[in-house]
Amino acid sequence: MNNTTKLYNLSDAKLKSQLVNHVVTYANEGPSSIKQDGIRTFLIEEVMRQGFSKKDRRRYVTAYTRDLDDGAQRKYRTLHVGGITKVSGRLGTAARMVKSLF
């Protein structure tokens, strides 16, 4: 079972706990103005909403993030759960945050 399938099958509460205070690697569907390859990294600080899109029933989260590819700026982002390719553990998250400060 891959990471996306695991995340899709979690309850809302468990998905939130897996994401909050962790760095996620996210594959944009379209072009990114920040990174050419479209692979982005965000620290999820808070999950405000979860659900399934009405158009295509894909699961999403709306989160308050730190955009680690854009100077760790705080931004609201709506992320499709299927686009989250990796969730870093606490040690990996701490290391990424230290690197983003320098």
Handedness of CA 13, 15, 17, 20 (dihedral sign): negative
Percent of the chain surpassing pLDDT 70: 82
Residues whose CB is less than 8 angstroms from the CB of residue 20 and which lie 6 or more positions away in sequence, other chains included: 44, 45, 46, 47
Residue type, 76: Y
Element (H, E) at 76: strand 73-80
Helix (H, G, I), strand (E, B) or coil at 16: helix
The pTM is what? 0.83
Domain that holds residue 67: 3-101
Q: How many domains does the chain have?
A: 1
Distance of CA 76 to the CA centre of its chain: 11
The whole-angstrom separation of Cα 66 and Cα 80 is: 17
Tens-place pLDDT, residues 10-36: 999 999 999 999 999 999 887 778 887
DSSP character at residue 34: S
